[in-house]
Structure formats: structure tokens, C-alpha cells
Amino acid sequence: MAEIQQEGVEVKKSSKKLIIIILAAVILLAGGGGAAYFFLFKSASVEGEHGEHGNANSDEKHKDSEVAVEKLYFDLTKPLVVNLPKGSGAKFVMIAITFLVEGADMVDALKKNEPMIRNNLLMLISAQNAEELKTREGKDKLRAGIQESVSATLTKMAGKSQLKDIYFTSFVMQ
């Protein structure tokens, strides 16, 4: 009979431990879910609250959000392949270019005007000296010329230019 009483006590102790473990797991999961909800949906709820109150601080944040335009990349559809003048160190150059712009409207402007942009860039690159293009300074000078040319084209055709940077994603000389 003493053995039966000891087994009953052990069963009660193990069931209490099991209940405590389950409660701890539930509390931990609920806390994790609450934290995830807080961090994921915090910015949306904060913007909504400031929009309703209309105080000066929310006006400043609204202006900042308008200023922060999405930056997007645009790749030219094909690399530019240009024959270099005879007597230079290389016969041709192949350059793949990516543009960094602000706003989807600039990506659309680049797409619409890609033939003109390609033409202007082919003319610009064909006038380059192959020996200069082999150096870092020559490539930087070419990047600056490309940025100036594309910005001028965008300003002329789209009324504005929000071209932020130019990247050579491939640069082959042979």
C-alpha cells in the first residue's frame, strides 16, 4: 500500500511538471507572436496614427517619406559593342551598363528613350582612346561622360533626370 501512495505522488509531480512546461511553451509562443506582430506592423500603424492627428511632427515625417523615393536599377537590354580606332591597343570594347535612378517614372523614361541613349553612348565610347580605357581613371572619365550624356537625354525627353549613378556590369576590351 505504501508503494501505491508513492506512485500517486510521482504521477502528480510529473503531471505538474508537464503542465508547467506546456504553459511556459504557450507563453513563449504568444510572446514571440506578439513581438513579431509589433515589429512587422509597427510602421504601418505609426503612419496611420500620425496621419489622423495632423500635428507638425507628422507633417515633417510625411515630407520625409515623399522625399525618400525608391531607387531602382535599369540594365540596358544588350551590351554596347564598339569598334575602336585602328592603331589603338584594342580592336573593340563591349560594355554592359546598369543605371541607378530614383522612381519608376525614370525607369520608364529610360525604356522609352533607350534607342537614343544607346546611339549617344555608342558615339561617346567610339571616340575614346583604348589606352585610357585600360586605366581606372579612364573608366571613371567614361562613366562621368555616360552619366552626363544620359542625364542630358533624360532632361530633354522626360523633362527631368533623376539618374544617380552608372555601373559597368561588364567591361571587355580585346
- pLDDT of res. 26: 83
Average pLDDT across the chain, whole number: 81
- pLDDT of res. 71: 92
The pLDDT-based confidence of 139 (bands split at 50, 70, 90) is: very high
- Sign for the pseudo-dihedral over CA of 123, 167, 98, 103: negative
Q: At what angle do helices 104-112 and 114-126 cross, to 10 degrees?
A: 70
CA dist 53 and 163 (Å) reads: 36
- 117 contact partners, CB below 8 Å, separation of at least 6: 76, 110, 149, 150, 153
Last residue of a domain, one of 66, 93, 117: 66
Say whether both 62 and 78 belong to one domain: no
Say whether both 9 and 79 belong to one domain: no
- pLDDT of res. 52: 46
Q: Do 106 and 151 form a contact (C-beta atoms < 8 A)?
A: no
Say whether both 80 and 162 belong to one domain: yes
Residue 105: HSE in the Cβ half-sphere, 13 Å Cα cutoff = 9
Say whether both 82 and 52 belong to one domain: no
Instruction: Provide the number of structural domains found in the chain.
Output: 2
Residue with cell 559597368: 168
pTM of the predicted model, to two decimals? 0.59
Q: Comparing 33 with 172, which gets the higher pLDDT?
A: 172
Q: What is the pLDDT of residues 23-33, one digit of tens each?
A: 888 887 787 77
Dig out the grid coordinates for 120 from the structure: 549617344
Per the structure, the complete domain to which residue 21 belongs is given by 2-66
Cα distances from 97 to residues 78, 84, 141, 172, in angstroms, run: 9, 18, 15, 12
Say whether both 84 and 34 belong to one domain: no
Say whether both 44 and 80 belong to one domain: no
